[in-house]
Chain A
Protein backbone atom coordinates (compact mmCIF):
# COMPACT_ATOMS: atom_id res chain seq x y z
CA UNK A 1 0.00 0.00 0.00
CA UNK A 2 1.49 3.37 -0.94
CA UNK A 3 1.89 5.82 1.92
CA UNK A 4 -0.31 8.95 1.87
CA UNK A 5 2.79 11.16 1.88
CA UNK A 6 6.16 10.43 0.22
CA UNK A 7 8.14 7.80 2.08
CA UNK A 8 11.54 9.39 1.51
CA UNK A 9 13.00 10.93 4.68
CA UNK A 10 15.48 13.77 4.29
CA UNK A 11 15.37 14.77 7.95
CA UNK A 12 17.21 12.33 10.15
CA UNK A 13 16.38 11.41 13.74
CA UNK A 14 18.64 12.53 16.57
CA UNK A 15 17.88 16.22 16.18
CA UNK A 16 17.43 18.36 19.27
CA UNK A 17 13.96 19.84 18.80
CA UNK A 18 11.64 19.90 21.81
CA UNK A 19 9.21 17.03 22.33
CA UNK A 20 6.20 17.46 20.06
CA UNK A 21 7.84 20.18 17.95
CA UNK A 22 5.65 21.42 15.11
CA UNK A 23 8.45 23.19 13.24
CA UNK A 24 10.27 19.89 12.85
CA UNK A 25 7.28 18.30 11.14
CA UNK A 26 7.02 21.31 8.82
CA UNK A 27 10.60 20.70 7.62
CA UNK A 28 10.05 16.95 7.34
CA UNK A 29 7.01 17.42 5.08
CA UNK A 30 8.51 20.18 2.93
CA UNK A 31 11.54 18.00 2.19
CA UNK A 32 9.34 15.01 1.44
CA UNK A 33 7.58 17.18 -1.12
CA UNK A 34 10.76 18.50 -2.74
CA UNK A 35 13.23 15.63 -2.58
CA UNK A 36 16.99 15.44 -2.45
CA UNK A 37 17.92 18.10 -5.03
CA UNK A 38 17.16 20.86 -2.57
CA UNK A 39 19.17 23.43 -0.64
CA UNK A 40 17.72 25.20 2.34
CA UNK A 41 18.72 28.53 3.87
CA UNK A 42 17.82 29.00 7.52
CA UNK A 43 18.23 32.19 9.55
CA UNK A 44 18.40 32.51 13.32
CA UNK A 45 15.40 30.49 14.50
CA UNK A 46 14.53 27.24 16.25
CA UNK A 47 15.66 25.51 13.09
CA UNK A 48 19.15 26.96 13.53
CA UNK A 49 19.51 24.83 16.67
CA UNK A 50 17.33 21.83 15.88
CA UNK A 51 20.09 20.06 13.87
CA UNK A 52 22.34 20.19 16.93
CA UNK A 53 25.82 21.54 17.52
CA UNK A 54 28.75 21.09 15.12
CA UNK A 55 29.68 18.67 13.68
CA UNK A 56 26.08 17.42 13.49
CA UNK A 57 23.62 17.93 10.69
CA UNK A 58 20.13 16.47 10.61
CA UNK A 59 19.17 17.12 6.98
CA UNK A 60 20.36 15.01 4.07
CA UNK A 61 20.60 18.14 1.93
CA UNK A 62 22.86 21.22 2.17
CA UNK A 63 21.65 23.65 4.83
CA UNK A 64 23.07 27.17 4.85
CA UNK A 65 22.81 29.09 8.13
CA UNK A 66 22.41 32.85 7.82
CA UNK A 67 21.93 35.84 10.11
CA UNK A 68 18.38 36.77 11.04
CA UNK A 69 17.50 39.24 8.29
CA UNK A 70 19.26 37.43 5.45
CA UNK A 71 16.85 34.70 4.30
CA UNK A 72 15.30 36.43 1.28
CA UNK A 73 18.60 37.74 -0.05
CA UNK A 74 20.44 34.48 0.58
CA UNK A 75 17.96 32.42 -1.45
CA UNK A 76 18.25 35.02 -4.21
CA UNK A 77 22.02 34.52 -4.33
CA UNK A 78 21.80 30.74 -4.10
CA UNK A 79 19.24 30.54 -6.90
CA UNK A 80 21.18 32.74 -9.29
CA UNK A 81 24.50 31.04 -8.55
CA UNK A 82 23.03 27.55 -9.02
CA UNK A 83 21.56 28.68 -12.34
CA UNK A 84 24.94 30.10 -13.37
CA UNK A 85 26.47 26.71 -12.49
CA UNK A 86 23.88 24.98 -14.65
CA UNK A 87 22.16 23.47 -11.62
CA UNK A 88 18.70 24.84 -12.32
CA UNK A 89 17.13 21.59 -11.13
CA UNK A 90 17.90 22.43 -7.47
CA UNK A 91 15.01 23.62 -5.34
CA UNK A 92 16.12 26.67 -3.38
CA UNK A 93 14.23 27.07 -0.13
CA UNK A 94 14.27 29.75 2.53
CA UNK A 95 13.00 28.26 5.76
CA UNK A 96 12.42 30.90 8.40
CA UNK A 97 10.34 31.38 11.50
CA UNK A 98 7.67 34.01 11.96
CA UNK A 99 9.98 36.49 13.69
CA UNK A 100 12.50 36.05 10.88
CA UNK A 101 9.74 36.58 8.33
CA UNK A 102 7.08 38.93 9.68
CA UNK A 103 9.53 41.14 11.55
CA UNK A 104 13.28 41.35 10.92
CA UNK A 105 13.25 39.50 7.56
CA UNK A 106 10.25 41.17 5.91
CA UNK A 107 12.30 43.61 3.83
CA UNK A 108 14.61 40.92 2.54
CA UNK A 109 11.65 38.61 1.83
CA UNK A 110 9.72 41.32 0.02
CA UNK A 111 12.75 42.20 -2.09
CA UNK A 112 13.37 38.60 -3.09
CA UNK A 113 9.72 38.05 -4.01
CA UNK A 114 9.58 41.30 -6.00
CA UNK A 115 12.67 40.36 -8.00
CA UNK A 116 10.97 37.15 -9.00
CA UNK A 117 13.68 34.56 -8.29
CA UNK A 118 12.58 30.95 -8.72
CA UNK A 119 12.61 30.18 -5.00
CA UNK A 120 10.47 28.83 -2.21
CA UNK A 121 10.08 30.83 0.97
CA UNK A 122 8.63 28.70 3.75
CA UNK A 123 7.59 30.58 6.86
CA UNK A 124 7.09 28.20 9.73
CA UNK A 125 4.81 30.10 11.99
CA UNK A 126 4.92 29.28 15.69
CA UNK A 127 3.59 32.72 16.51
CA UNK A 128 6.50 34.12 18.47
CA UNK A 129 10.23 34.09 19.13
CA UNK A 130 10.24 30.60 20.56
CA UNK A 131 13.95 29.84 20.27
CA UNK A 132 14.85 32.87 22.39
CA UNK A 133 12.28 32.00 25.04
CA UNK A 134 8.77 32.85 23.80
CA UNK A 135 8.75 36.56 23.03
CA UNK A 136 6.03 38.35 21.08
CA UNK A 137 6.38 38.69 17.29
CA UNK A 138 4.25 40.47 14.71
CA UNK A 139 2.76 37.08 13.97
CA UNK A 140 1.64 36.41 17.57
CA UNK A 141 -2.16 36.47 17.71
CA UNK A 142 -4.27 38.86 19.79
CA UNK A 143 -4.66 37.68 23.34
CA UNK A 144 -1.51 35.60 23.64
CA UNK A 145 0.66 35.92 26.69
CA UNK A 146 4.38 35.77 25.95
CA UNK A 147 7.44 36.59 28.02
CA UNK A 148 7.39 40.14 26.62
CA UNK A 149 3.60 40.46 26.78
CA UNK A 150 3.10 39.15 30.31
CA UNK A 151 -0.11 39.32 32.26
CA UNK A 152 0.69 40.86 35.63
CA UNK A 153 -1.09 43.57 37.59
CA UNK A 154 -1.58 45.07 34.15
CA UNK A 155 -3.02 42.71 31.59
CA UNK A 156 -0.31 43.29 29.00
CA UNK A 157 -1.11 40.31 26.75
CA UNK A 158 -0.69 41.02 23.04
CA UNK A 159 -3.27 43.66 22.16
CA UNK A 160 -2.63 43.76 18.42
CA UNK A 161 -4.00 41.35 15.83
CA UNK A 162 -1.75 38.87 14.03
CA UNK A 163 0.19 40.21 11.07
CA UNK A 164 -0.49 37.61 8.36
CA UNK A 165 2.49 37.56 6.03
CA UNK A 166 0.78 35.31 3.47
CA UNK A 167 -1.87 38.02 2.98
CA UNK A 168 0.89 40.60 2.48
CA UNK A 169 2.52 38.35 -0.10
CA UNK A 170 -0.78 38.03 -2.01
CA UNK A 171 -1.18 41.81 -1.92
CA UNK A 172 2.36 42.17 -3.28
CA UNK A 173 1.50 39.97 -6.24
CA UNK A 174 3.60 36.91 -5.44
CA UNK A 175 2.47 34.33 -8.03
CA UNK A 176 2.04 31.43 -5.61
CA UNK A 177 0.96 31.91 -2.00
CA UNK A 178 -0.51 29.31 0.32
CA UNK A 179 -1.12 28.58 3.96
CA UNK A 180 -0.85 25.10 5.41
CA UNK A 181 -0.42 23.37 8.71
CA UNK A 182 1.15 20.19 9.97
CA UNK A 183 -2.16 18.56 10.94
CA UNK A 184 -2.84 18.15 7.22
CA UNK A 185 0.40 16.84 5.74
CA UNK A 186 -1.20 15.66 2.49
CA UNK A 187 -2.55 19.16 1.88
CA UNK A 188 0.78 20.73 2.88
CA UNK A 189 2.80 18.48 0.58
CA UNK A 190 0.37 18.96 -2.30
CA UNK A 191 0.73 22.74 -1.92
CA UNK A 192 4.54 22.57 -1.95
CA UNK A 193 4.37 20.41 -5.07
CA UNK A 194 1.85 22.78 -6.69
CA UNK A 195 4.13 25.67 -5.83
CA UNK A 196 6.94 23.94 -7.67
CA UNK A 197 4.94 24.23 -10.90
CA UNK A 198 5.27 28.02 -10.63
CA UNK A 199 8.52 29.21 -12.15
CA UNK A 200 9.05 32.17 -9.86
CA UNK A 201 8.76 33.05 -6.21
CA UNK A 202 6.42 31.07 -4.00
CA UNK A 203 5.51 31.71 -0.41
CA UNK A 204 3.97 29.19 1.96
CA UNK A 205 3.09 29.99 5.56
CA UNK A 206 2.93 26.85 7.68
CA UNK A 207 1.36 27.04 11.12
CA UNK A 208 3.66 25.01 13.37
CA UNK A 209 2.29 24.82 16.92
CA UNK A 210 4.82 24.97 19.72
CA UNK A 211 4.10 23.12 22.97
CA UNK A 212 6.91 24.99 24.72
CA UNK A 213 5.66 28.46 23.82
CA UNK A 214 1.92 27.90 23.63
CA UNK A 215 1.85 25.95 26.86
CA UNK A 216 -0.01 22.77 25.95
CA UNK A 217 1.13 19.15 26.42
CA UNK A 218 3.42 17.94 23.60
CA UNK A 219 1.10 15.15 22.48
CA UNK A 220 -1.50 17.80 21.48
CA UNK A 221 0.55 19.41 18.68
CA UNK A 222 -1.46 17.90 15.84
CA UNK A 223 -4.73 18.41 17.68
CA UNK A 224 -4.01 22.11 18.28
CA UNK A 225 -2.86 22.50 14.68
CA UNK A 226 -6.15 20.95 13.50
CA UNK A 227 -8.23 23.15 15.80
CA UNK A 228 -6.50 26.27 14.49
CA UNK A 229 -7.98 25.47 11.10
CA UNK A 230 -11.37 24.34 12.41
CA UNK A 231 -11.75 27.53 14.45
CA UNK A 232 -10.66 29.64 11.44
CA UNK A 233 -7.87 31.09 13.57
CA UNK A 234 -5.58 29.88 10.79
CA UNK A 235 -7.53 29.55 7.51
CA UNK A 236 -5.99 27.33 4.85
CA UNK A 237 -5.87 28.76 1.37
CA UNK A 238 -4.08 28.52 -1.91
CA UNK A 239 -3.53 31.42 -4.27
CA UNK A 240 -2.07 30.48 -7.61
CA UNK A 241 -1.93 32.46 -10.81
CA UNK A 242 -4.66 34.78 -9.58
CA UNK A 243 -7.02 32.02 -8.46
CA UNK A 244 -7.86 31.92 -4.77
CA UNK A 245 -9.21 28.82 -3.04
CA UNK A 246 -10.23 28.72 0.62
CA UNK A 247 -10.62 25.46 2.56
CA UNK A 248 -13.87 25.13 4.54
CA UNK A 249 -13.24 23.32 7.81
CA UNK A 250 -15.23 20.10 8.00
CA UNK A 251 -15.85 20.24 11.76
CA UNK A 252 -15.98 23.91 12.83
CA UNK A 253 -15.09 24.76 16.42
CA UNK A 254 -15.33 28.15 18.15
CA UNK A 255 -12.41 30.44 18.87
CA UNK A 256 -13.26 29.90 22.52
CA UNK A 257 -12.66 26.17 22.22
CA UNK A 258 -9.38 26.86 20.45
CA UNK A 259 -8.03 29.31 23.02
CA UNK A 260 -9.01 26.94 25.83
CA UNK A 261 -6.63 24.35 24.41
CA UNK A 262 -3.57 26.47 25.26
CA UNK A 263 -2.38 28.11 28.43
CA UNK A 264 -1.03 31.16 26.58
CA UNK A 265 -4.66 32.32 26.29
CA UNK A 266 -5.81 31.13 29.73
CA UNK A 267 -6.12 34.65 31.17
CA UNK A 268 -8.62 35.79 28.52
CA UNK A 269 -12.11 36.77 29.65
CA UNK A 270 -15.30 36.45 27.62
CA UNK A 271 -15.04 39.98 26.20
CA UNK A 272 -11.48 39.44 25.06
CA UNK A 273 -12.38 36.13 23.45
CA UNK A 274 -15.22 37.95 21.64
CA UNK A 275 -12.75 40.52 20.31
CA UNK A 276 -10.64 37.69 18.91
CA UNK A 277 -13.70 35.87 17.53
CA UNK A 278 -14.82 39.06 15.77
CA UNK A 279 -11.42 39.53 14.16
CA UNK A 280 -11.41 35.89 13.04
CA UNK A 281 -14.89 36.31 11.51
CA UNK A 282 -13.96 39.59 9.85
CA UNK A 283 -10.88 38.05 8.29
CA UNK A 284 -12.81 34.99 7.14
CA UNK A 285 -15.37 37.20 5.39
CA UNK A 286 -12.53 39.01 3.66
CA UNK A 287 -11.06 35.73 2.45
CA UNK A 288 -14.47 34.54 1.18
CA UNK A 289 -14.69 37.75 -0.83
CA UNK A 290 -11.30 37.03 -2.39
CA UNK A 291 -12.66 33.73 -3.60
CA UNK A 292 -15.56 35.31 -5.48
CA UNK A 293 -13.39 37.93 -7.17
Chain B
Protein backbone atom coordinates (compact mmCIF):
# COMPACT_ATOMS: atom_id res chain seq x y z
CA UNK B 1 0.00 0.00 0.00
CA UNK B 2 1.33 3.38 -0.96
CA UNK B 3 0.37 6.32 1.18
CA UNK B 4 2.18 9.43 0.06
CA UNK B 5 0.52 11.55 2.70
CA UNK B 6 0.38 11.06 6.46
CA UNK B 7 -3.02 9.80 7.60
CA UNK B 8 -4.04 9.50 11.26
CA UNK B 9 -4.44 5.74 11.45
CA UNK B 10 -3.79 3.56 14.49
CA UNK B 11 -2.88 -0.02 13.67
CA UNK B 12 -0.78 -1.33 16.58
CA UNK B 13 -2.47 -3.67 19.05
CA UNK B 14 -2.84 -2.27 22.54
CA UNK B 15 -1.21 -5.49 23.76
CA UNK B 16 2.00 -3.47 23.59
CA UNK B 17 0.69 -1.56 26.60
CA UNK B 18 1.20 -3.53 29.81
CA UNK B 19 -1.49 -2.14 32.07
CA UNK B 20 -0.58 -4.68 34.76
CA UNK B 21 1.82 -2.01 35.99
CA UNK B 22 -1.17 -0.06 37.32
CA UNK B 23 -2.05 -2.82 39.78
CA UNK B 24 -1.87 -2.35 43.54
CA UNK B 25 -3.99 -5.39 44.42
CA UNK B 26 -3.28 -8.72 42.78
CA UNK B 27 -5.99 -11.36 42.34
CA UNK B 28 -4.84 -14.93 42.96
CA UNK B 29 -7.07 -17.88 42.10
CA UNK B 30 -7.20 -20.90 44.38
CA UNK B 31 -7.83 -23.59 41.78
CA UNK B 32 -8.52 -26.24 44.39
CA UNK B 33 -11.76 -24.39 45.19
CA UNK B 34 -12.48 -23.04 41.69
CA UNK B 35 -15.59 -24.64 40.15
CA UNK B 36 -14.68 -23.41 36.62
CA UNK B 37 -17.88 -21.34 36.33
CA UNK B 38 -16.07 -18.76 34.15
CA UNK B 39 -17.81 -15.85 35.86
CA UNK B 40 -14.47 -14.09 36.49
CA UNK B 41 -13.60 -14.47 32.79
CA UNK B 42 -17.00 -13.16 31.78
CA UNK B 43 -16.84 -10.01 33.88
CA UNK B 44 -13.21 -9.00 33.34
CA UNK B 45 -13.25 -5.47 31.82
CA UNK B 46 -9.61 -5.77 30.83
CA UNK B 47 -9.95 -9.04 28.99
CA UNK B 48 -7.07 -10.18 31.22
CA UNK B 49 -8.42 -13.61 32.08
CA UNK B 50 -7.93 -16.38 29.57
CA UNK B 51 -9.59 -19.79 29.50
CA UNK B 52 -7.00 -22.55 29.31
CA UNK B 53 -6.71 -26.31 29.57
CA UNK B 54 -6.94 -27.20 33.27
CA UNK B 55 -6.68 -30.97 33.27
CA UNK B 56 -3.43 -30.92 35.21
CA UNK B 57 -4.59 -28.25 37.65
CA UNK B 58 -5.91 -29.09 41.14
CA UNK B 59 -9.71 -29.08 41.26
CA UNK B 60 -12.34 -29.32 43.98
CA UNK B 61 -13.81 -32.43 42.33
CA UNK B 62 -13.40 -34.75 39.34
CA UNK B 63 -16.53 -33.38 37.59
CA UNK B 64 -14.88 -30.07 36.73
CA UNK B 65 -11.42 -31.38 35.91
CA UNK B 66 -12.07 -31.42 32.16
CA UNK B 67 -13.35 -27.85 32.07
CA UNK B 68 -11.26 -24.82 31.17
CA UNK B 69 -9.62 -22.89 33.97
CA UNK B 70 -9.44 -19.11 34.20
CA UNK B 71 -5.84 -17.88 34.05
CA UNK B 72 -5.09 -14.28 34.93
CA UNK B 73 -2.70 -12.48 32.59
CA UNK B 74 -0.82 -10.24 34.98
CA UNK B 75 0.64 -8.26 32.10
CA UNK B 76 -2.78 -6.65 31.74
CA UNK B 77 -4.76 -7.21 34.96
CA UNK B 78 -5.27 -3.78 36.57
CA UNK B 79 -6.40 -5.30 39.84
CA UNK B 80 -9.93 -3.90 39.87
CA UNK B 81 -11.16 -6.85 41.90
CA UNK B 82 -14.39 -7.53 40.00
CA UNK B 83 -13.37 -11.16 39.62
CA UNK B 84 -12.91 -11.63 43.37
CA UNK B 85 -16.11 -9.77 44.13
CA UNK B 86 -18.20 -11.83 41.71
CA UNK B 87 -16.62 -15.23 42.35
CA UNK B 88 -19.42 -17.42 43.79
CA UNK B 89 -16.91 -19.67 45.57
CA UNK B 90 -14.87 -16.76 46.93
CA UNK B 91 -11.75 -18.48 45.75
CA UNK B 92 -10.00 -15.40 44.35
CA UNK B 93 -7.97 -13.50 46.90
CA UNK B 94 -6.83 -9.91 46.43
CA UNK B 95 -3.30 -9.47 47.80
CA UNK B 96 -1.22 -6.32 47.98
CA UNK B 97 1.45 -6.15 45.31
CA UNK B 98 4.94 -6.37 46.70
CA UNK B 99 7.16 -3.36 46.07
Contacts and interface: CB of A to CB of B under 8 A. Distances in A.
Contacts of A58: 13-14
* SS of B interface (majority): loop
B43 to A, nearest CB: 5
A215 B82 CA distance: 15
Contacts of A132: none
A52 interface: yes
Interface in A61-117: none
Given A16-B19, A56-B10, A218 B38 contact: no
Interface in B1-47: 8-19, 22, 36, 38, 41-43, 45-47
A51 interface: yes
Interface stretch (A3-11, A265-273, A274-282): A3-11
A108 B56 CA distance: 55
A186 to B, nearest CB: 9
A14 B17 contact: yes
Interface of A: 1, 3-5, 7, 9, 11-17, 19-22, 24-25, 28, 51-52, 54-58, 182, 185, 211, 217-223
Contacts of A217: 81
A14 B18 contact: yes
Interface residues of B, number: 37
B47 A56 contact: no
B22 A19 contact: yes
B67 A56 contact: no
Q: Which 3 A-B pairs have the closest CB atoms?
A: A219-B81, A14-B14, A13-B76
B14 A20 contact: no
A28 B82 CA distance: 15
B10 A25 contact: no
B85 interface: yes
Nearest to A56: B14
A40 to B, nearest CB: 14
A219 B84 contact: yes
Interface string B49-71: 00100000000000000011000
